[in-house]
Each structure stands twice: as C-alpha cells, then as structure tokens.
Structure 1
Amino acid sequence: MSGVANTLDVRQKIKKTREKILLGGGEKRIEAQHKRGKLTARERIEVLADAGTFVEYDAFMEHDCHEFNMQKQRIPCDSVVTGRCQVNGRPIYLFSQDFTVFGGSLSLVHSRKICKVMDQAMLVGAPIIGLNDSGGARIQEGVASLAGYADIFQRNVNASGVVPQISLILGPCAGGAVYSPALTDFIFMVRDTSYLFVTGPDVVKSVTSEDVTQEELGGAKTHTTVSGVAHRVFENDVDALLSLRKFLTFLPLSNK
C-alpha cells in the first residue's frame, strides 16, 4: 500500500471510529435513555456548554479488560465523556457519564479520564462539573475499578476549597458512584429519574427484610428533605442543566 493510500485508509478508520464514539452504546440504548426521560451524555454537554466551546479529551480511549470476554466488548470513549468548555464565557472542566455504555459503570480507563480533567481544573483554577449517571463499579474489572474510585476521591479532597465542585445526579447512581458526589460542594438531582444509594432495595430487603422503594431509599425527595445530601431538585435534565448555567455565575472560578 502506497503512502497516500495508507493515509486515506487511516483517515477512513478514524472517521468510522468517530461515528461510533458519537453513538455511544448504540441507537437502541440511546432510544431507551430517551424513553426514561433522560438525555444522553453528549446531549447534556450540549445543553450546558456555550455553543462550540466543548473540547473533548481522550475520545479514543477504550477499556483494557480481558476478563469475562470483555476484550470483545470495547467501545471507543468507554463510558464517560470528558473535556473542557465555557459556560457564560467562563472556563469549566467536566465529565459526563454515559449510561448507554455498560450502564455508565466505572472502569480503570473511565477513572483515568475523570482524574485528568480534575487535575487540569485544579491546575488552571476552574470549576469541576460531574454529570453523574452510573451504576457503580464495573465488576468485570474487580479491584482495578475500585482503585479508580480511590484516585477520584483523592482528587475530590485535594480540590476541596480550591475550585468549586458540583455534581448533577441524572440517573440511578449506586455503590461506588455515590461517594464522589458526596465529597463535592453542591449536589443537584432530578425528580423521578435520579437516585443515590450505596445498595439498592433488593439488597436492603435481603439483609434487613425491609421493603423499600428506590425513591424512599435514595430518590430526590429523600435526599433534599430527609438526608440533606442534595441541595436542589429539578423536574428534568434540561431544567437542571440550564439552572446550573445560571448557578455558576454566582461562584468564583477558584480560591485565587
């Protein structure tokens, strides 16, 4: 193959990979996300960011797990979209978990992508925004996934009091996915679609024999009126994201 032909072939492969990246987990899963009244990870960024300002990081990264035949289930970008953008002309760094890809579960690569934007935010002095929609750790990766959570928690602690950290809970977040938001400065939730609990109702029943619904255990009403974990509840994703745009105008970029 000539040099020109090889270049064209590489460009075509990159184009096809970019198309796969934009589809996340595929059209069927995107449709299922919409049926639940939720936006996709990329749609959420479009609502939050000033038009044309989002710069994505590490879009071509894939998980490197070989257990349970996971090497046959690699999706470019994995289960989180990360990068930087502007909101009302001011810089922010963000990650948006993609529930259409492995339920938004956290792999080691997923955690590395999040840690990168957190490090950049602290270096530059800009807010960190987490659009959370994750079922927790990716169990196929075992302790590697849990180590990824530890890296994120460390950065939550390091960023505390340095740059604003805001978590939007936009789906059913369970297990390891709930600890990082709890370490951030503000938590916003969406009525009827977002949940925060360490273990779900089925596990609670198996241990305590108590019947409890998802809403009672970790819904928006519970966390804004009983536990105090969340600070505000919104009606839908768009309402939450547009309100976040306004809320950011009241916050400094950093402690400098």
Structure 2
Amino acid sequence: MAEGHETTAGKLEWLEELREQALHAGSEKSVARHREEGKLLARERAEKLCDPGSFVELDRYVRHREANFGMMDRRPYGDAVVTGYGTIFGRRVFVFSQDFTVFGGSLSEVFAEKICKVMDLAVKYGCPVIGINDSGGARIQEGVVSLAGYAEIFWRNVQASGVIPQISLVMGPCAGGAVYSPAMTDFIFMVEGSSYMFITGPDVVKTVTGEEVTFEELGGATTHATK
C-alpha cells in the first residue's frame, strides 16, 4: 500500500485505484482492436447478459502467480477472466467471461481457479453456468500448470453434466483447450463471421498437412452447425 494510505480516506482512495486498474486491465491497443471488430469487452458481455444491475463480480483483484518469463512485471487484476453471478429473467445464473484483451484470454492457473469456483457454486446452488468464451487457449508461460487448470475445468464439466444446465457462448477465435470445455456443455452459441472453434488454427494445419483452409472452413459457426 502506497504512502498516505494509512487513513480510512487513503485506503478508500487506494481501493478506487485498484478498481480502476481492474476495470481497465487490457492494454489500450488490445481494447481498441477489440472495439474495431465490433466486440464488447468481457465485463460488458457479462453485464449485458444478466438482468440490468444484477451482475455481481467475484475475485476481481486476483492476479497470476507465474514468476518466470518476466511475468511478474505483467500482473493485471482479474487475470483475463471476469466471473460472478446475476439473474436472467429473475433466475440466478453463474457466469464467466474470458477477456481476450488480456494475454489473449489465455488460461492460467488462477484463471482456471476462478472458473472452477463459479462452476462449483453453480452446482452447489443448482443454478445454470454460462461461459462466455474468447480465448486463445493455454497460457504457454505457465506450461503444464495451465494444462492442469484445464483438467480441473473438464472434470467439473463432466460432474455437472445432467445436474445443472451448462451453456457456452463462443464469441471469438477459440483454439485448443479453449474449445474442449464448450464441447462438453449442453448448448453452444456462436457468432457467424467472428466465432471459431478448432483444435489448432489454419497456419498449423497448412504446416502439418499442406492443406490450405480458412478460419470459417476449419471452425466457423456454419461449419459446426452443418451436419
């Protein structure tokens, strides 16, 4: 805590500073690019999905714990995912919304812990869980720790199957681990022209197989919706 924050007024000022940092975790460049594509930010998506004023955010100020690869110099609050609960037409729901403007929405250990928490709460209280997915996959800097986070999420997908409704909204280019969890949920909604689900992208497919394929052909909404 900075100097001058020993008083109650100072602590409130410090808390407001943290709040502003958490609300603007993505870089200006990333946010601008997101806006140019006509997309809402992660927190905006969660708030618009829920009844007006009903969304309550959880774990806003947590940060990742990775110390290697210079990551301790880049520790935005929230760690690339917004989680919480609210109501839709008066019914309680739990929500997580991945933030592509922070580390490309990549999943870290803390990121996974936040998602697992709302999934556990949804099962405990018998509420639907809605995932707003916009992620490039595992956070490579965290290696197998990130992959272990996916394992925890997948396990919960299986345990919650048939117990509570699990709904996925795919709002951007999701690859690798980022699409395995939605595939195990009850319903998947995609946006034509901007939502993609694939194990790996067109560049890797071309390198490995020599086949040229577009994003839409490989994992677009029409591809997944066509029998």
Classify the TM-score, shorter chain: over 0.9
**Which residues of structure 1 form unaligned runs of 5+?**
227-256
> 1:23, CA displacement in angstroms?
1.2
Equivalences, count: 226
Matches within 5 A, 1:1-256: 5-226=6-227
- SS of 1:166's partner is strand
Tell which has more relative contact order, 1 or 2 (C-alpha 8 A, sep 6+): 1
Measure how far apart 1:24 and its partner are. 2.4
Across the aligned residues of Structure 1 and Structure 2, the Cα RMSD in angstroms comes to: 1.6
Separation of aligned partners in 2, 1:181 and 1:80? 16
Structure 2 counterpart of 1:122, one-letter code: V
The amino acid of 1:88's aligned partner reads: F
1:177 Cα shift? 0.3
* Partner deviation per Cα, 1:47-82 (whole Å, 9 max, x = no partner): 111111111110000001011000000000110000
Aligned-residue sequence identity (percent) comes to 60
SS in 1 for 2:97: strand
Give the superposition deviation at 1:32.
1.0
Partner Cα distance (2:198, 2:6) in 1: 53
1:80-128 CA-partner distances (Å, limit 9, x unpaired): 0000000000000010000110000000000000000000000000000
Could you state the TM-score of these two structures normalised by the residue count of structure 2? 0.96
Secondary structure at the aligned position of 2:148 is classed as: helix
Contact 1:91 1:126 survives alignment (8 Å)? yes
Partners of 1:174 and 1:13 lie apart in 2 by 38
Consecutive unaligned residues in structure 2, runs of 5 or more: none
Counterpart-to-counterpart distance in 1, 2:226 and 2:19: 43
Distance 1:2 1:62 in 2: 22
Helix, strand or coil for the counterpart of 1:67? Answer: coil
**Residue 2 of structure 1: CA displacement?**
11
Deviation per CA, 1:137-159: give whole Å up to 9, x if none: 00000000000000000000010
CA distance in 1, matches of 2:76, 2:133: 19
Question: Runs ≥4 in structure 1, deviation > 6 angstroms?
Answer: 1-4
